[in-house]
Amino acid sequence: MSTTGSTSGPRFPTRTSEERDASQPLGRIDAYPTHRIAGLPVRPGRPVPFGATLVPGGVNFSVYSNNATGITLVLYRPGEAESWAELEFPDSFRTGGVYAMTVFGLDPEAVEYCYRAHGPFKPDEGDWFDARQALIDPYGTMLSGRERWGAPGGPWRSRIAPADFDWEDDRPLRIPQEDLVVYELHVRGFTAHPSSGVNAPGMFAGLVEKIGYLASLGVNCVELMPVFEFDERDNTRTDPTTGSPLFDFWGYNTVGFFAPKAGYAATGQHGMQADELKNTVKQLHRAGIEVVLDVVFNHTAEGNQLGPTLSFRGLDNRVYYMLTPDRHYYNFSGTGNTLNCNHPVVRGFVLDCLRYWVAEYHVDGFRFDLAAILGRSQDGAPLANPPLLEALAHDPVLRDCKLIAEAWDAGGLFQVGSFPAYQRWAEWNGRYRDALRRFLKGDVGATAEMATRYVGSPDLYTGRGTVASVNFVTAHDGFTLHDLVSYHHKHNEANGEDNQDGEHDNHSWNCGHEGPTENHHVLALRGRQMRNALLMLLTSHGIPMLLAGDEMARTQRGNNNAYCHDGELSWVDWSLADSNADLVRFTRDVIAFRRAHPCLRRRRHPTGHTHDRMFPDVSWHGVHAWTPDWSPHSRLFACMLCEGDDAGGGDGRVEADDCVYVAANGHWEAHRLELPELPAGWLWRRFADTSAPPQEDSCRPGEETALADQAAVRVGPRSVVVLVATPHGAQEIEE
């Protein structure tokens, strides 16, 4: 290992003099070295951009530390334990708190690097400097050390991602938010199961092989659980039921914010994970599917004072983390530390990171984990006008991105409906989730709130429109849809935490039996409840989000916190798509129905006014038309949504109305509902009825059959019926 200031020449990895000469245009003074450090030709670098950047003839390294007394650049050969050169930044190479150096002749594909930060090690004062620690670059665009999923890894080291990917004129799809159908998936869990039948199971390339399925289902946006580099082996527990090691499977403990997860790439062992992810995005775009990344800026993998020092802690602990007055870590994330997001430097880091993913990976948006933390001040207090959230909302590079907040945190801050939105942010609507679950169970007092959530939660999002609400009934964190209707209690024993982890109150109901059963009545009710949930979700105003595998009744056997399982419990079993083909077909039908009816995809909240339509844009009904029952013991509501198409003359004339009637019955008894009378020449036609046999519960849009009785419709026990009003045509009336 070469020492700082050594005159010995480098042994690896440099270019030949001919290659250097060809890459250094004459006349560029910044393309020539001014110093030699550790035997390498260098010159003062450019302070921005941060990170390792290719420049004429070399690589510019720039790293920030406001409180370090010095920084050393450490260079490695790939796969070797010891460094081959260590270059201490001269004081003349520092500008403010930024250390920058251009090193000439390096081959960016054959070099790994870290930093050593010199300074006081005084944790009780908030400083954790230790020059013995090799720290990864916060701006490192790739990391080595975990190239194969689950395999023992070496030390983390930063690398330089190639920047020569051919996007072939790929561009953002810019799908209107009201038209989105979001599908949340885990890259590995989606195809790792042997039944997936892909050539690259558990990889980005495996996801590409399933794009045809996603397109056929009708989803047009995938929300990928974390794909930034993390350590899946960062879990010391074992499964008490099998003795197998547990994992950090979900990946919400980020190590490298600019680096794609190498273990998710079939080419990761060859350093091509960046290109593999870029190709995945490109292929999804070609299929008309946007890509939203689930990002974690509320904490890092360094944890609390007992955790590893990987990067931020060693570079400038007092800047990057929220610290208590006695210099311990605030823990609003529930994982040991909290990023100091509204410190100007950290705010800049977050913006730089998101801009990078938009510019380099063409992603279409971001979902922010525990986003309420992003609105806390440096002392943890909620801010009325958080600088970071405002900056994200108005950033020119992020202008067309979807910004989605999980508007709560582990410190008790719950901001659903009050998240600082700046007319840009949407929110995971946890109140929609709870209202729909309670209504499906038949809880007392659930109907009126469900009706409010159904039309886009106007009480929460006044002035922001329906697209502020991302509606969901299940997500990665909690029960799957199958388990929501199969378990009354969580069963997390396999997590090794004595079933104490995971949400205790799930608003779930097992339909009469806990867990697996062969009782046909229970199974039929569970199937109906799953269809009820999907049908109500996909006809609600707002942005619907599905959890991967729910459309085929994927189960986690009652585990509502499967973050630590890399196996059957967390993988999508694709054989279920065959055994539950009717549920998959039903989901496909309902997504297509949503796409076919503008009245289900409005940006504005309905007002109840007619606006030259044949009916108001929303009207409420019950057993009697135009007479809803909002009493606490009511478990039934019907909603008629109507949207008019302007004839084009600018005079407000309406050419045709799009009119959908949804009757939702959470009662265990059937009800006969009077239907609103339609104008002459119009008929009510049935699109879906979850009380019908599975093969007859829905149809493709345009294939609806007119009701024999145009005055009333029967809604079965715990069932949902959807009708559409259309002009009298070729379709026959039901027998």
CA distance linking residue 694 with residue 688, whole number of Å: 10
Given the DSSP bridges, would you call strands 719-727 and 654-665 parallel, antiparallel or unpaired? antiparallel
Given the DSSP bridges, would you call strands 402-405 and 425-428 parallel, antiparallel or unpaired? parallel
CA distance linking residue 323 with residue 309, whole number of Å: 16
415 and 421 in contact (C-beta within 8 Å)? no
Q: State yes or no: cis peptide before 49, omega within 30 of 0.
A: yes
Q: What is the DSSP string of 480-509?
A: -HHHHTT-SS---GGGTSTT-SS-S-----
CA distance linking residue 433 with residue 422, whole number of Å: 24
Our answer to whether residue 369 is catalytic in this structure is yes
Our answer to whether residue 294 is catalytic in this structure is no
CA distance linking residue 36 with residue 485, whole number of Å: 68
Query: Could you give the angle at the alpha carbon of 238 between the alpha carbons of 234 and 239, nearest 5°?
Result: 125
- Indicate which residue of 406, 427, 589, 697 is catalytic: 406
CA distance linking residue 115 with residue 125, whole number of Å: 22
Rg of the Cα trace of the chain?
28
Tokens at residue 74, please? 């450490």
Element (H, E) at 224: strand 221-224
Residue 39 Ramachandran class (φ > 0 left, ψ -120 to 50 alpha, else beta): left
CA distance linking residue 358 with residue 400, whole number of Å: 10
CA distance linking residue 534 with residue 511, whole number of Å: 17
Q: What is the DSSP string of 177-209?
A: GGG--EEEE-HHHHH-SGGG--SSTTSHHHHHH
- Indicate which residue of 184, 316, 369, 704 is catalytic: 369
Residues acting as catalytic residues: 369, 406
